[in-house]
Amino acid sequence: MLSENKLKMSSSPHIREKITSGNIMLMVVIALLPASGFGIYNFGLPALIMLISTTLSAVLTEYIYEKLMHKKITINDFSAVVTGLLIGLNMPPTAPWWMGALGSVFGILVVKQLFGGLGQNFMNPALAARCFLLISFTGQMTSFVYDGMTGPTPLAMLKNGEVVDSMKMLIGTIPGTIGETSVVAIIIGAVFLILMGVIDLRIPGTYIATFIIFIGIFGHFQNPDVGFFDPQYITAHLCGGGLMLGAWFMATDYVTSPITKKGQLVYGVLLGILTGLFRLFGGSAEGVSYAIIIGNLFVPLIERVTLPKPFGKGGEK
């Protein structure tokens, strides 16, 4: 082994980095474990069944498709696991397990594989699957049962001008989808990803900052009882719903976010504005999934505009 590494005879570029997509995806899976664990603790057995169902069907779909199409089997790079797990975390625990499985099949087959597999999909497969399910089964996807009671999510309560308990939202003992309720668990995963260098603060940071500014200003117009930059209102919007899960785990998806540094900032601002627009002035209480999906579609444009100029090519126009 050692002697092999001493002298390499090949033309450049020489890649010395040990990181592979499999490593990165595995780290994302590890980072999602706290949120998954809390979801199972919070909602019990149905949540566990849902997570297993979505993850398993995502991996199986990828395997069967690649087998049938005589392509290289890529299930051991964990990308299908991440997609399946994210779909599961985006499902309400009361939805039947087959619904999540259907979402996984759609996300992997239609959104990812038909466009060419990992690295080629133009939008986040997990979010596309969630939107597919949200449009198809609006009733089941937006009914949240917690402690045996059907209750509105904090966001729905906010939309109706009610007061919510921010502390509960921070810990996560509120109705919602399996993975979105606990801000603490999500932040633990996000900090792990940042420390490992998998994601950086650019996209989530600008996303959340823009969202705070937008909500701080326009929250007042939408509901006059809320003052400008009301801290209670802003915390509730940050911790309720899927913003945290979306900002840290889905907006940062390598494939569907810009690669240029300036582009990432533009992308984050765009997502923040869109999410704010959908939440405050849209028809439903939640808007993160649609905001990120629409943001995904703008990524090629953003990259084109923000492509850095090579040295010496600046002057001419």
Report, in Å, the least distance between residue 117 CB and another protein. 17
Residues 6+ apart with CB under 8 A from 132: 103, 106, 107
Report, in Å, the least distance between residue 136 CB and another protein. 4
Report, in Å, the least distance between residue 306 CB and another protein. 28
Report, in Å, the least distance between residue 142 CB and another protein. 12
Report the residue number, 132 or 207, with the smaller CB distance to another protein.
132
**Binding to another protein, residues 23-62 (CB under 8 A):** none
Amino acid in the structure at residue 67: K
Report, in Å, the least distance between residue 140 CB and another protein. 7
Instruction: Count CA atoms closer than 13 A to 269's CA, side-chain side.
Output: 7
Place of tokens 């300036």: 262
Instruction: Count CA atoms closer than 13 A to 302's CA, side-chain side.
Output: 22
Q: Is the dihedral angle over the CA atoms 56, 180, 197, 204 positive or is it negative? A: positive
Binding letters toward another protein, positions 67-106, x by CB under 8 A: --------------------------------x--x----
| Residues 269, 116: Cα–Cα separation, whole Å | 29
The footprint of another protein on this chain (CB under 8 A) covers a number of residues equal to: 10
**Binding to another protein, residues 100-159 (CB under 8 A):** 102, 110, 132, 135-140
Report the residue number, 109 or 194, with the smaller CB distance to another protein.
109
Place of tokens 């849902």: 50
**Cα 157 to chain centroid, rounded:** 23
Binding site for another protein (CB under 8 A): 99, 102, 110, 132, 135-140
